[in-house]
Amino acid sequence: MTTDETGKAKGRDTRTRILDAAEKLFAEQGLASTSLRQITREAGVNLAAVNYHFGSREQLIHEVFARLVGPVNRERLACLDERRAAAGDAPLPLATILECLAAPALRRGGDRLRMRLAARVLSEPGVYSPTDFHRLFEEIAERFLGELARTLPDLPPAEIAWRFHFFIGALLQALHGLAGVKGMPGPFSELYRVPVEEVLRRVVAFGIGGFLAPAVPGNTGEDGP
Amino acid sequence: MTTDETGKAKGRDTRTRILDAAEKLFAEQGLASTSLRQITREAGVNLAAVNYHFGSREQLIHEVFARLVGPVNRERLACLDERRAAAGDAPLPLATILECLAAPALRRGGDRLRMRLAARVLSEPGVYSPTDFHRLFEEIAERFLGELARTLPDLPPAEIAWRFHFFIGALLQALHGLAGVKGMPGPFSELYRVPVEEVLRRVVAFGIGGFLAPAVPGNTGEDGP
DNA sequence: AGGCGTTTCAAACAAACGTTTGTTGGAGGT
DNA sequence: ACCTCCAACAAACGTTTGTTTGAAACGCCT
């Protein structure tokens, strides 16, 4: 629990050092490609410390992800609660709902790289238990789908679920871009060298348009530009 | 080059068998978690065959991905060419552009799982060279951004690029969902047990709304709900 | 038939993997 | 003073990884 001046950290400091190193390396290289040896080397701790403090590699992954996503989701729900308390029985503006969903993830710290991990874990199967993963987002999905249904009473619930899903995809793409794709040239390389707040406004605007689009008809038809 | 009746395949058949097995396993488990031994066992070929035919694991990955994404992108460009030839100088309807972008990926064969690989590789770093990856999509991005700019002349090019990016995210999310997230309960489990054409219509509708949304203001300021 | 280039095969390689072990050092309790 | 517990450590465990090797089996041409 104490820290001496030689640079050696003791006690629970080792835990957080492992978590920090794992979080960074997972975000950079992915889950499956990151070894415990890399993590412990980066953290400056002994190899066995991981199994001592976390039991196994899998539980370390779980804890890293929970520590990353937990505060974000709590902030999301708090944002929604706050806006709802101010609105009484009235439906929340669509922009408010989407902001509460996107802002906590996008604004997370000055370190843009960090949130990339969440985007990655969603795409990597097997490593992280789907049920554990779902438990972390179950409450979020229910709350936001409920608010969206109240704000968009004319949109069928299935359509709302679909568009919520699509918006999550757009948001993950934004998180990916914010992390910076090294070595990726082309029109998207310069795209993310902008303030986070601008990315937030843009993805929310895109989402508003998507949610306000007319419900899909039963068949294909003409459409004006 | 020939196939005898004992089940043993020779010649370039081994190549495609390896490619098929790798494609399937990569999609199911991810790139980093799939070993050459798994691939060769699934393909029913010798372990050394991979290094003989492809040189290395990395080049195998490259070829699997190119074989998967090449036809899709070619179909995308063909779709755009066809519609443009019919339209003359007139801008293409937004729905057409987004359909040409989404349909080839979503409709790929009856095997829904297959296209999940593309969605995964986009999220997995280091395994697939970013520059190689970019080369596969450079032409696509340029063509579609050009058509979008012609259809939406009032939208700043940067805004178009952003929304193109977001739409890709929504499309990837759709591909992910179509592959089926095993063990994932909740409101999204039943979402994708629908015809591909319906998913296509829904994601295109969402994208149309997103692209038609008013452009975001250039700086931070008030915003009405 | 015979030789030749191509392809398949079992076996082995060093390296890296996650995990377990037994021991050591030091702070806190009695 | 002693004992106890927690934390860190080096070392080794048995697997699994991607890759290489050398020989065997194949189809094909002269």
| pLDDT of amino acid B29 | 83
Instruction: List the A124 CA – C13 C1' distance (angstroms).
Output: 31
Instruction: List the A56 CA – C23 C1' distance (angstroms).
Output: 22
Using only the alpha carbons of chain B, give its radius of gyration.
20
Q: Do A202 and B167 touch (CB under 8 A)?
A: no
pLDDT higher than 70, residue B126:
no
Of the residues B123, B139, B167, B191, the best mutation for testing chain A's interface (the one with the most A CB atoms within 10 Å of its CB) is B123
- The nt closest to B34 (CA vs C1′) is D17
Q: Do A131 and B94 touch (CB under 8 A)?
A: no
What's the helix, strand, coil split of chain A in %, to 5? 65, 0, 35
Q: Look up residue A205 and give its two tokens.
A: 């605007």
Domain residue ranges in chain B: 1-55, 65-225
Number of residues that this document lists for chain A? 225
What residue has token string 């060279």? Answer: B129
pLDDT higher than 70, residue B205:
yes
Average pLDDT of the residues in A103-110: 77
Q: For A206, which of B163, B184, B205 is closest by C-beta distance?
A: B163
Q: Look up residue B153 and give its two tokens.
A: 């002349």
pLDDT in tens, B40-96: 999 999 999 999 999 999 999 989 988 888 888 999 999 999 999 999 999 999 999
Average pLDDT of the residues in A173-186: 63
Q: What H or E segment, with its residue span, contains residue B92?
A: none
Average pLDDT of the residues in A8-19: 74
Residue A127 CB neighbours (<10 A): 19
| pLDDT of amino acid A224 | 38
Chain B residue closest in CA terms to A213: B209
A21 or B191, greater pLDDT: A21
What residue has token string 């199994």? Answer: A51
Instruction: List the A36 CA – C24 C1' distance (angstroms).
Output: 23
A186 neighbors B134 (Cβ within 8 angstroms) = yes
- The nt closest to A1 (CA vs C1′) is D7
| pLDDT of amino acid B130 | 61
Comparing CA positions, the residue from B181, B177, B163 lying closest to residue A165 is B177
The band of A101, judged by pLDDT with boundaries at 50, 70 and 90, is very high
| pLDDT of amino acid A225 | 40
| pLDDT of amino acid A201 | 95
**Percent of chain B, pLDDT > 70?**
73
CB A51 within 7 Å, strand C:
yes
pLDDT higher than 70, residue B11:
no
Task: Write down the CATH number for the domain with range B1-55.
Answer: 1.10.10.60
Fold category of B65-225 in CATH = Tetracycline Repressor; domain 2 (1.10.357)
Q: Mapping DSSP to helix (H, G, I), strand (E, B) and coil, where does residue B165 land?
A: helix
pLDDT in tens, A200-222: 999 999 999 999 999 876 543 34
